[in-house]
Structure 1
Amino acid sequence: MKTAWPQLVYPDLKDTIATVQLWTQIVGKIRLKAMPWLNHSWHVTLYVSPSGLSTHSIPYGDRSFQIDFDFIAHQLIVTCSSGQQQTLGLYPRTVANFYQELFEKLATLGIAVEIYAKPNEVDPAIPFAEDEEHKTYDKQQIAVFHKALLNIDSIFTKFRAGFSGKCSPVHFFWGAFDLAVTRFSGRRAPLHPGGAPNMPDKVMQEAYSHEVSSCGFWPGSDAFPHPAFYAYCYPTPADFGQQPVKPAEAFYSTDMGEYFLKYEDVIRSANPEKALMDFLQSTYLAAANTGNWDRENLECDFSWLKQ
């Protein structure tokens, strides 16, 4: 059966995304503080779930808790292993209001987590408790975005299965608000220069401590008002951007040092799933071939197990 791929229109989506991104930063920072540090900041991420985005289980003393964005029922749900649960409504409300009520709910559950209460990777970084500016929540737009994430997560997961080397989970970074999966060559990389807005350089340098080929999905920005897939590698060989990639609509940005494929070009194709998989695979090959990765020992094919 062909998957139904929804239309994503950046001007319709952008204000809701701007607000929800900040909400996810608050939730993501709770996970960051409560979890042990994992390499490449993998402990901070969220995960696509059938109803929205989830922290998955977070250990806390002799209990565990989980926070879920439900974009179907439009609730934020905090669930404890003790059987307790608290919910917040998702509707047009300010970041400051969301932040205050969430921490009140956590206190009711006996959960005390102190976060750095300003956003990362956005500029300006308005403290959460003071942000009365971002307050848009369009239920239809976030539901459409979630449907797209479900489809993309499925394809990214299939792509991840073709690699036996070190590879990240398919996970959602709330800093840049993107879904990503990253493959590693196994070799250390040169020191990364850092430079992300409101992000410590040492965090970026640990994230890129080893050679990577990374791909992801991002909802766009005012400077590039198109939801898009991207692919890059670090370090970047001089001939990386000159490699043949698929589908034909994919292009390389010399300014960004990345390949891009607009979401709209994927869903307009005769086979969106194949178009996206072709992009993921061909851009990985661009990185692996120009970077002299040991492909023979890093790649795998388990399709025979299903026969």
Structure 2
Amino acid sequence: MTTRYAVNARSAWPKLPLLEDWQDTCTTFHMWTQVIGKIRLALSPDINHCWGSTFYVTTRGLTTSPIPYGTLTFAIDFDFIAHVLRITTSSGADQAFALEPMSVASFYRKTMQTLSELGIEVKILARPVEVEVAIPFEQDDQHASYDADTVARFWHVLVHADCIFKDFRARFIGKVSPVQFFWGGIDLAVTRFSGRTAPKHPGGAPNVAIRVTQDAYSHEVSSAGFWPGMGLGEAAFYAYAYPFPAGFDKYPVQPAAAYFHDQLRFFILPYEAVRTAENPAQALLLFLQTTYDAAATLANWDRPALERKITQT
């Protein structure tokens, strides 16, 4: 199992603290991304599976990519090198403010004020999703932490994962998602589709309309991603299938550190196991491939029609 991505040395993969050690920053950052995500959601075309509202990894952080507004476009970028939120427009305007300890309410007000100064007026449903306690952004003075070093470390993992996920994505010629960052679950993900429709999803995600979940899982999928580890306690890579094929949880996946989490119903590969592997990129790619093998084999996907081999050039 090889990858075009050459970052294999352990030293290239930053160490991340346990989630409990940066939980306040993680939650604050999560809510900030939801503010920006809601702006893209309000103004962008409604692409299936919520793909029209996600972020993408950049050389400095995360971006919305261009958002249409009247006769121009604008983009909102999290810059985790300079630690600023930057808003740029196709007319040449450019404004930014510092990312530093501040409440979600303050971040929301600053963002909306900066947009207004650029002539952009947008109304959003100013309340978070996919969290049990959904404090309206304007009222959230509870979450106000920002550990710049840890956020930058987390982003550097996204940079590495983004490249490896794209390599994995290229091996599939059926319908496959972009590699994208979902601000609802604060995860980077890539999803393959068998081409068959799926049973209606029962829903159940907190503060998410069932129509959203059913659109996300309208078709049979094998999905993988990386997230800080809410419900787990440590950053990890994950993989799952919907619908859940019989025997999926018992399928032998690799590397050895990977396991099936009964409560989350995911295969899990702890980030620390990847970081400390002899070849981290190869370990991650092996996890992506074998968990996909589990889903595609057990659910009888038409693999010859959906897969291709990548040749090195």
**Normalising TM by the smaller chain, what interval?**
over 0.9
Q: What corresponds to 1:301 in structure 2? A: 309
Of the two structures, which has the highest relative contact order with CA contacts closer than 8 Å and spacing of 6 or more? 2
Task: Give 1:118's aligned residue.
Answer: 127
Return the offset for 1:147.
Answer: 0.9
Q: Which amino acid aligns with 1:182?
A: T
Structure 2 match to 1:265? 273
Structure 1 distance, partners of 2:132, 2:248, is 30
**1:99 aligned onto 2:82:** no
Map 1:62-77 onto structure 2 (within 5 A).
62-77=71-86
Alignment of 1:167-246 (within 5 A): 167-221=176-230, 223-246=231-254
In the other structure, the counterpart of 1:16 is 25
Amino acid at match of 2:159: L
Gaps of 5+ in 2: 1-5
Q: Provide TM-score, normalisation by structure 2.
A: 0.95
Normalised by the length of structure 1, the TM-score is 0.97
Partner of 1:147: 156
Q: Which ranges in structure 1 are unaligned for 5 or more consecutive residues?
A: none
| Mapped pair 1:284 → 2:285 | no
Which residue, out of 69, 79, 104, partners 2:88?
Answer: 79
Matches of 1:171 and 1:37 in 2, distance apart?
Answer: 16
Q: Distance in 1 between matches of 2:126 and 2:262?
A: 35
The answer to whether 1:274 aligns with 2:263 is: no
1:46 corresponding residue in structure 2: 55
The correspondence of residues 244-259 of structure 1 with structure 2, limited to 5 A, is 244-259=252-267
Q: In the alignment, which residue of structure 1 is the partner of 2:3?
A: none
Separation in 1 of the partners of 2:311 and 2:25? 40
Moved over 6 A (4+): none
Q: Displacement, 1:12? A: 3.0
Instruction: Write out per-residue CA displacement over residues 67-117 of structure 1, whole angstroms, 9 at most, x where no aligned residue.
Output: 000011010000000011111210000000010011011111111111000
In structure 2, C-alpha distance between the alignment counterparts of 1:15 and 1:163, rounded to whole Å? 38
Deviation at 1:44, TM superposition (A): 1.0
Shift of 1:139: 1.1
C-alpha separation in 2, matches of 1:214 and 1:69: 25
| Residues 12 and 141 in structure 1, CA contact (< 8 A), matched pair in contact too | no
1:224 Cα offset (Å): 1.7
